Amino acid sequence: MATTRTKCFALLASALIGMTSAAFAQDSGPLLDLLVKKGIINDQEAENLRAELVKDFAANTSAGKLNLGSTLTELRIFGDARVRYESRTGELPSGDTQERDRFRYRFRAGLTGKLVNDWSFGVRLETATGSRSSNVTMGDEASGAPFAKGTSTTNNDGVYVGQLYLTYAPSPMFSITAGRMPNPLNTTLMVWDGDINPEGLAEQFKYRDGANEYSAVLGQFLYSAASTQNAFGSAPKIKDAGLLAWQGGYKRYIEGTTTFFQITPTLYNYVRASETQNSAAIKGEFTPSNAAAINNLFVFEVPFEYDWVLSGVPVRAYADAAINFDAKERAKKFGTPNLDNQNKAYTIGFQYGKAVNKGDWDARIFYQSVQAFALDPNLVDSDIFDSRTNMRGVVLSGDYALGGATMFTLTGARAQRVNNTIIAPGSGDIGSNNALDKYWLLQADIVVKF
């Protein structure tokens, strides 16, 4: 006849094994130790039970099959998939219009890992080759074969390395990152498209003293690398074109972490922009036929925002102002020396709510004006004003959370030229004619994040 102790053990064993989940199997050690300590089971019985639990964990969970390196202390897998309907319309001064309606998709998946000795890494793969877009246009096969994948210059079904960076953070206050990284600067769509991952080095400092937080970000980005710096023979020496950024930051916490004010003035300096052997698109002078040139850009940007909670709803008021201190020369080389006052840009916006959980919604509105010589047209957002400067207009956007991981977003924009005497330079999606006068955008997105 079984003893009470044997019955207890059998009951316990079946209960523990019956309840096997990944977390339970891993957390059962202290419970078994306690049972041993109380004399309910002995060490060998605990060991048998532990082995059964681990076997079950190993056999029935994916985590049990992972064999991660001992230098890895944390690993995160993340990504998103988006399906979009987009309609862009442009109008020339003559009244002629162009419409471009597209169904598009985007996929991004990444890994970030923390390693021993204060190192970490990140890598993200994403569709499409462009720096400012990971979108693939459906049915965009140039070869004529339907549903082809990535064989044409216009279709970007391929998967590319969007981010790859290493970070050394010897203290919570300081880190240095090298590689192709998420933009380390606090900025807005007015200056930087959110899809751009700059390449180079970035150093970040952050120090908090009570309610005051001070920060600095220094960026040394390789804008365009020369293929050879010092070729054999008598060829001239060429150097890489670079973008240097200095950002200082101040954040004042007013109530918890939800009510605060933040300002992050930033100075951008383009170095060796005129090197003749650098990327053909960026070298030379900014002219109506060479809108990607980065000469005479010395930009100062001041993003600031105030976040607070209004009747339980998070709200955000924000703005960004920028000026190009070298716009006079840029305008002169463009052939419009009289327009050297077209050197400023600003955006001002307001957001109500923050869609996070199922059923949540938010809405935002902002007005933006970017004069022709104020900013680098290669960096400004590619969607809202078609990658162009000399545009001003209003953007309305809203999110509705279909689920904890699924978001529906609707965005509409209307813009027109700031100054009608010059073109709206930039490499937009609406035609190649920079004489674009008016512009409309409608986007409907469903995004799934994991």
Partner 1 sequence: MKKSFLILAAALAATGLLRAEKLVIKGSDTLGAKLVPQLAEEYKSKNPGISFEIAAEGSTTGIAAIIDSTAQIGMSSRRAKPTEMSGAQAKGVNLKPTIVAYDGIAVIINANSPITKLTKRQVEQIFAGDITDWSAVGGSAGKISIYTRNTSSGTYQDFKDLAMNKRDYAGSSQKMAGNEQIASEVSKNPNGIGYVGLAYTNTPGIKVVPIGGVLPSKETVIAKQYPYARPTFYYTNGEPAGEAAKFVEFTLSDEGQQIVEKVGFVPIR
Q: Which residues, other chains included, contact 11 with Cβ-Cβ below 8 Å and sequence gap of 6+? A: none
Residue span 228-267 as binding mask against partner 1, x where in contact by CB under 8 A, dash where not: ----------------------------------------
- By beta-carbon proximity to partner 1, the closer residue of 64 and 248 is 64
Minimum gap (Å) between residue 168 Cβ and partner 1: 13
Give 401-438 as a DSSP string.
ESSSSEEEEEEEEEEEES-TTS---B--SS-S-TT--E
- By beta-carbon proximity to partner 1, the closer residue of 68 and 142 is 68
Residue span 4-43 as binding mask against partner 1, x where in contact by CB under 8 A, dash where not: ---------------------------------x-----x
Q: Terminus-to-terminus CA distance in the chain, angstroms?
A: 54
Considering only residues 57 to 116 of the shown chain, the ones binding partner 1 according to CB under 8 A are 57-59, 63-67, 70-71, 73, 116
Helix-strand-coil split of the chain, %, nearest 5: 15, 45, 40
Minimum gap (Å) between residue 145 Cβ and partner 1: 42
Q: How many CA atoms lie within 13 A of 13 on its CB side?
A: 17
Q: Among residues 13, 24, 48, 444, which is the contact residue for partner 1, using CB under 8 A? A: 48
Residues touching partner 1, count (CB under 8 A): 22
How far is 298 from 326, CA to CA, in rounded Å?
6
Find the part of the chain contacting partner 1 (CB under 8 A) among 56-64, 314-322, 383-391, 441-449.
56-64
How far is 66 from 54, CA to CA, in rounded Å?
13
Give the bridge partners for 239, in sequence order. Answer: none
**Per-residue DSSP letter, 165:** E
- By beta-carbon proximity to partner 1, the closer residue of 96 and 118 is 118
- By beta-carbon proximity to partner 1, the closer residue of 63 and 309 is 63
- By beta-carbon proximity to partner 1, the closer residue of 29 and 335 is 29
Minimum gap (Å) between residue 167 Cβ and partner 1: 18
How far is 348 from 190, CA to CA, in rounded Å?
10
- CB burial of 41-51 (b: ≥16 within 10 Å; e: otherwise) equals beeebbeebbe
Q: Among residues 12, 50, 123, 174, which is the contact residue for partner 1, using CB under 8 A? A: 50
Inter-residue contact 178 to 132 (CB < 8 Å): no
Is 131 near partner 1 (CB under 8 A)? no
- By beta-carbon proximity to partner 1, the closer residue of 49 and 128 is 49
Q: Where are the beta strands (DSSP E) in 181-240?
A: 199-209, 212-224
- By beta-carbon proximity to partner 1, the closer residue of 33 and 255 is 33
How far is 293 from 330, CA to CA, in rounded Å?
10
Q: Among residues 7, 11, 27, 47, which is the contact residue for partner 1, using CB under 8 A? A: 47
Inter-residue contact 58 to 50 (CB < 8 Å): no
- By beta-carbon proximity to partner 1, the closer residue of 42 and 421 is 42
Q: Among residues 3, 44, 94, 357, which is the contact residue for partner 1, using CB under 8 A? A: 44
Minimum gap (Å) between residue 169 Cβ and partner 1: 16
Minimum gap (Å) between residue 31 Cβ and partner 1: 15
How far is 386 from 133, CA to CA, in rounded Å?
12
What residues make contact with partner 1 under the rule CB under 8 A? 37, 43-44, 47-48, 50-51, 54-55, 57-59, 63-67, 70-71, 73, 116-117
